Structure 1
Amino acid sequence: MGVPAFEIARGVRKYYNYQHKRQSCRRLRMRRPVLSILLLLLAASGISAQDRFGAIDRDLLLKIERPASQTDRRFLLAPQPTPGQLMFDAIHYDVDIAFDEKTGQVEGRVTAVVESTSEPLSQIDLNADPVLSILSVEMEGYGVLTFSRSGDVFSAVLPFALAPGERASITVHFEGNPISALNPGLFIRSHASGTVLYSLSEPWSARTWWPCKDYPDDKATFDIALSVRPGLFAASNGNFIGQADTTRWAEPFVRHRWKEEYPMPPYLFSIAASPYVLLTDDFVYAPGETMLVTHYVYPHLAAQAAVDLDIAVPALSYFSSLLGIYPFIGEKYGIATCGIGGGMEHQTLTSYGAALLTGDHRYDWLYIHEFGHQWFGDLVTCADWTHIWLNEGWASYFEALWFEHLGGPGDLKAYMQTMDTPLYWQGPVLRDPGNTDPWYYFDRVVYDKGAWIVHMLRHIMGDQDFFDATRAYLADPLFSYGNADSEEFEAAFEAFYGGQLDWFFDPWLTRTDRLACEWSWSSWEQEGHNHLSIYVRQLTDPPYVMPVDFRVSSGAGDADTVLWIDEAEESFVFETAGLVTGVQFDPDGWVLCDAAAVATGTESTPAAPFLSQNWPNPFNPSTTLCFGLDHPGPVRLSIYDARGGLVRTLIDGRLGEGTHEAVWNGKDSEGRPASSGVYFCRMTAGAKSFTRKLVLLR
């Protein structure tokens, strides 16, 4: 399944631009975008980010065309491919369908080019909901095939077995009324300018209105012909090829042809047919290179749309510079207005709810979300619905990236807070196998916590490595115009992180809680030196492993430091340039965490005994251990090897309150150099004891 050559795409684009002049919908040029200036002025006007983002209703993102409750057990879990479907790939679909917007009836033909992938293939299994009648199945060069049906699968027997790598062209003639499906993927609504017929197939409803192999991990290219009554324009994926009069059901129809040359899964194939006005703009992405931006909107919303949709070119420019050129640059990007409550990221042409066009940029966040799916969801699609957070979490993070672009770090922090919504989260990000809610795949946790996982990963890696990894992941031939799962995503980012990231991904994807802790700080002066102790106690069990920023304020100014939180209780001690006047936990909002500050302030002694991690670690030849006592008393500080054998006692006696230091020179009690390996420092102070792991590298 190849990507169209860039030179070919250039030629197609020129033809596409010409053909758009011949469309049956009125075409208007959009004004030059002024969105960034308007929003920056808004930010400067004194309106806080919290006020600007506070009215966002993120439930609009959910795929709300589904029934409120679903009782049919077919849909309790995602449908799984048959054994036969695992033995072939769909390479190309040639789809020719007529739609009656008055009755909901469809009739048409689908020709699927399939390729055997493993052992000899003797039958082809395709998906078709029972609301579709399969009239006949044919194989090019061999005529009519016999077929049988079971549920939403029909199986056609081939005249001979296809060897691995061999292809066949299978044509299916069908008719039916998709509107009546239990889980429909086709809808008809009325609006002030007429009627709209549109599709929303995610996650597995493409099969309700056209026969296909309906799984997200099988992408194909498309030739598309959509016939509707005169007065309607049928918008779809890819490049517009042209339109011509035809006859269906003994009535005049108009056949609109499109060509999608980039591989696409069936759920992203779309139709949006209505009386439309076409708003256009140009995205100049290189000297002399232009992609047409196309928005199909209801005539009565044209004025509002012209304002709201001027976001398109600025968004294309920014995200192309950040993550790599828009993935479908040889075709188009735009929206088609329809009756959906939110939006749906159909490849190259997002289906966009009419209520979102208000003329005041109120729903820019949702526009950016669906736009972001062109990279995460369309370019790289989740391998199966269990990993839908790779689509939805990333698209949600696009929203935050956009507002960071416009308003800076403060807006990034404020926007991420709008996605801190644990009361709406049901279960972990990766679906719990015991959860039988059919729409759990699209619970708020997938969107909001998914975005937080991306946000935290960015901070862990740092911007340079994070965005380098993101661009490489999107461009990797293993995933680009294909699929990925969570493990593959993790491995791709580990290559840039330089180590394992399972300590991060495993708990955040599979647990239902979050990092929660109590923390305190104390500062004191001793013998002319200022000291700071930060104590953290995790309330979640087992404890999370997370780097957390602390901002320390003193007479010398503010200083940021990163502490790795990985134990149920731990203390960190520093010497500071001045007496500390304040400490902030995660001041810039990088960690999904409930943190409560307790018992903080300036003291003459530590609030509790502690043993800090040695520094440096690993070390050679020596390392320093800092520890503290909240009152005078006996203390013992000893080094043990990995087998528990005593190597050396550094301190064994009575010390006063305050902070103390001990240096281990890497030698045992006889003065002999210890060998490379793992050692443990154990501190005992009264009834309390602390242990730290040390690594000696010779």
Structure 2
Amino acid sequence: MHRRIIVPGALGAASLVLAIPASAAAPSPGAPGIGDPYYPAYGNGGYDVSHYDLRLKYQPATDRLEGTATILARTTADLSRFNLDFLLDVGEVRVNGAKASFAASGEQELEITPAKPLAKGAALTVVVRYSGVPSSKEAFGFTSWHRTPDGGVAANEPEAAAWWFPANDHPRDKATYDVSVQVPDGTQAISNGTLQSTSSRLGWTRWNWRSDKPQATYLATLAVGRFDLTTGTTESGIPVVNAYSKDLGADDGAARASVERTGEVADWLTGYFGPYPYNALGGYVPNTDTGYALETQTRPFYSPRQFAGGSNVSVVVHELAHQWYGDLVSVRGWKDIWINEGFARYAQWLWSEHEGEGTAQELADYTYASHPADDPFWTVRPGDPGPENQFDAAVYDRGALAVQALRNEIGDEDFFTVLKGWPARYAHGNASVADFQRYAEEVSGKPLAALFDTWLFQPSKPATPAARTASRAPASDTPAQPRSWRRITATNDVHEH
């Protein structure tokens, strides 16, 4: 930041210096990134969003989206300008009611210059009117918008928002959402949270969804198409809304046989992770050709490919485990992805144990034995894998090995206290791997730096003595493959970018 004061003479300058506090500074542009070294352009600096109100109109036949986004925020610096992450065509921007100038820059930056500078700590209302064809837009060489035969879907990690609404696109800035979508009659619009209402007029139906708990931008989702909706409630009374494309073909039965168990699985997970943290639940399976699933908050996205081999409750367990580990407590930076994926994979191991198809210890033994010392698997460091390996299988499997190592080191009583206490400690916030280590040390009273370093940060296979903290089987033994192994490894591409 630069401050330049022009006054007529030294006496005037001295007077002004005395009159202006040393901390005063001229407003400056907010940063075009939030400061995550993995993705320097993602997110923005200078403000914090509290709520997104999105009023949209979507035409499936042409993939044209029109929208008005109203963003409620508060400035965290004196701003002359600020950025949003966005790709569609902008027609007008207003800041606190007044028209603002705007320009596109970089891969996905919308630079907004308000009519007047913004003071630090001030309430901020930004209205953006926009339109465009999401499937025609790319950033960094890819798209996060999935065109389907009957519509489109926004679901991807670590980014998806910029294809359908302007945002501060990083998990560090969570907000609540109202998403209202107008689509042709006979078409459904699926999003997060609770369905507040639907109404039809002149051939169009409006679907109104609300997420009333803080939600990261990549966890916000939109799916428009022809869906069959099912409803129910969990044993604890949480309403469940599931949606299945009417064009799933041979995968339809397996998809329903899996996703319809969402309420059962969520209730089971509460025994390990604590109360379910939201007032809505469900899942949706659109007719996409993608291979991954994603923990979109309250209503995970599943691709049909997840069910091509038959029913797959394990992937449902994985995505629902993320509602605590990843959604309720989100990464501070994308390098902390182990807290999401290691624990979601470990939930699958616990489900295997629950189903009598192999204990968590047996799965740890088999995972360890399946990768010889020269396997590149061991060169990936789950505690800081780098953006190129963020969703590598090692982050999941070696990540789950680290969780089992922790369990064996501190014992079941402290381990399950940590498992349930962690989501409560950082509920609706963000945390890092270092935060998790400190919390586990606090609960167990044990120093854990060496264990975390061995299993999360060393680019090599732990030696046998260290390995036995995760695998108690003798090194010469070849463990039998647990019955759940193939089903679990079939979900290794759940977050394939």
Q: Please report the TM-score for the alignment, with normalisation by the length of structure 2.
A: 0.79
Asked if 1:240 corresponds to 2:189, the answer is no
Is the contact made by 2:418 and 2:443 (CA closer than 8 Å) also made in structure 1? yes
CA distance in 1, matches of 2:127, 2:469: 56
Q: Of 75, 81, 96, which aligns to 1:116?
A: 75
CA distance in 2, matches of 1:586, 1:196: 54
Equivalences for residues 448-459 of structure 1 within 5 A: 448-459=397-408
Aligned to 1:265: 216
More helix by share: 2
Aligned to 1:166: 122
Equivalences for residues 282-431 of structure 1 within 5 A: 282-285=233-236, 290-299=237-246, 303-328=253-278, 330-339=279-288, 340-357=290-307, 360-361=310-311, 363-407=312-356, 410-416=358-364, 419-420=367-368, 422=371, 423=375, 425=377, 427-431=380-384
CA distance in 1, matches of 2:292, 2:123: 39
Is the contact made by 2:401 and 2:470 (CA closer than 8 Å) also made in structure 1? no
Asked if 1:222 corresponds to 2:180, the answer is no
Q: Of 426, 429, 433, which aligns to 1:486?
A: 433
> How many angstroms does 1:281 deviate by?
2.8
Is the contact made by 1:125 and 1:154 (CA closer than 8 Å) also made in structure 2? yes
Relative to structure 1, the CA distance from residue 357 to residue 550 in structure 2 (aligned partners, 3 Å threshold; closer, same or farther) is closer
Is the contact made by 1:136 and 1:144 (CA closer than 8 Å) also made in structure 2? yes
Aligned to 2:13: none
Residue identity in the other structure for 2:161: A
Per-residue CA shift, 1:247-280, capped at 9, x if unaligned? Answer: 7xxxx43221100001111111101222221223
Per-residue CA shift, 1:294-351, capped at 9, x if unaligned? Answer: 21113456644443334323212211122211111x2223334341323111001111
Give 3-state SS (helix, strand or coil) of 2:382's partner.
coil
Query: Which consecutive unaligned segments of at least 5 residues does structure 1 have?
Result: 1-74, 518-535, 537-543, 552-583, 590-698
Residue identity in the other structure for 2:95: M
Residue identity in the other structure for 1:355: R
> How many angstroms does 1:218 deviate by?
0.7
Q: Of 499, 505, 508, which aligns to 2:452?
A: 505
CA distance in 1, matches of 2:260, 2:201: 36
CA distance in 2, matches of 1:273, 1:548: 45
Query: Which consecutive unaligned segments of at least 5 residues does structure 2 have?
Result: 1-35, 480-497
Residue identity in the other structure for 1:444: A
Equivalences for residues 514-525 of structure 1 within 5 A: 514-517=461-464
CA distance in 2, matches of 1:219, 1:227: 25
Asked if 1:187 corresponds to 2:146, the answer is yes
Aligned to 1:558: none
CA distance in 1, matches of 2:397, 2:144: 25
CA distance in 2, matches of 1:76, 1:101: 37
CA distance in 2, matches of 1:153, 1:370: 30
How many residues are treated as equivalent by the alignment?
A: 431
CA distance in 1, matches of 2:308, 2:112: 49
Per-residue CA shift, 1:203-224, capped at 9, x if unaligned? Answer: 1232133211111111000010
> How many angstroms does 1:108 deviate by?
0.9
CA distance in 1, matches of 2:212, 2:410: 35
Residue identity in the other structure for 1:263: P
RCO greater where, 1 or 2, for CA within 8 Å and sep 6 or more?
A: 2
> How many angstroms does 1:405 deviate by?
1.7
Per-residue CA shift, 1:62-103, capped at 9, x if unaligned? Answer: xxxxxxxxxxxxx99413457xx3321111000122223233
Residue identity in the other structure for 2:157: E
Aligned to 2:111: 155
Give 3-state SS (helix, strand or coil) of 2:159's partner.
coil
Is the contact made by 1:116 and 1:165 (CA closer than 8 Å) also made in structure 2? yes
What is the RMSD of the two structures over their aligned residues, measured on CA atoms? 2.8
Relative to structure 1, the CA distance from residue 548 to residue 148 in structure 2 (aligned partners, 3 Å threshold; closer, same or farther) is closer
Is the contact made by 1:183 and 1:205 (CA closer than 8 Å) also made in structure 2? no
Per-residue CA shift, 1:338-371, capped at 9, x if unaligned? Answer: 413231110011111223346953x221121111
Equivalences for residues 426-445 of structure 1 within 5 A: 427-431=380-384, 439-445=388-394
Relative to structure 1, the CA distance from residue 548 to residue 314 in structure 2 (aligned partners, 3 Å threshold; closer, same or farther) is closer
Per-residue CA shift, 1:415-474, capped at 9, x if unaligned? Answer: 3456556446363224466xxxx5421111211111111121111111110111122211
Identical pairs, percent: 27
CA distance in 2, matches of 1:308, 1:346: 17
Per-residue CA shift, 1:49-72, capped at 9, x if unaligned? Answer: xxxxxxxxxxxxxxxxxxxxxxxx
Give 3-state SS (helix, strand or coil) of 2:198's partner.
strand
Relative to structure 1, the CA distance from residue 381 to residue 371 in structure 2 (aligned partners, 3 Å threshold; closer, same or farther) is same
CA distance in 2, matches of 1:378, 1:549: 30
Aligned to 1:139: 95
> How many angstroms does 1:385 deviate by?
1.3
CA distance in 1, matches of 2:472, 2:292: 39
Relative to structure 1, the CA distance from residue 165 to residue 461 in structure 2 (aligned partners, 3 Å threshold; closer, same or farther) is same
CA distance in 2, matches of 1:495, 1:245: 55
CA distance in 1, matches of 2:90, 2:105: 12
* Structure whose alpha-carbon radius of gyration is higher: 1
Residue identity in the other structure for 1:460: E
Q: Please report the TM-score for the alignment, with normalisation by the length of structure 1.
A: 0.58
More strand by share: 1
Is the contact made by 2:405 and 2:469 (CA closer than 8 Å) also made in structure 1? no
Give 3-state SS (helix, strand or coil) of 2:355's partner.
helix
Relative to structure 1, the CA distance from residue 211 to residue 120 in structure 2 (aligned partners, 3 Å threshold; closer, same or farther) is same
Relative to structure 1, the CA distance from residue 291 to residue 77 in structure 2 (aligned partners, 3 Å threshold; closer, same or farther) is closer
Residue identity in the other structure for 1:497: S
Residue identity in the other structure for 2:448: L
Q: Of 226, 230, 233, which aligns to 1:275?
A: 226
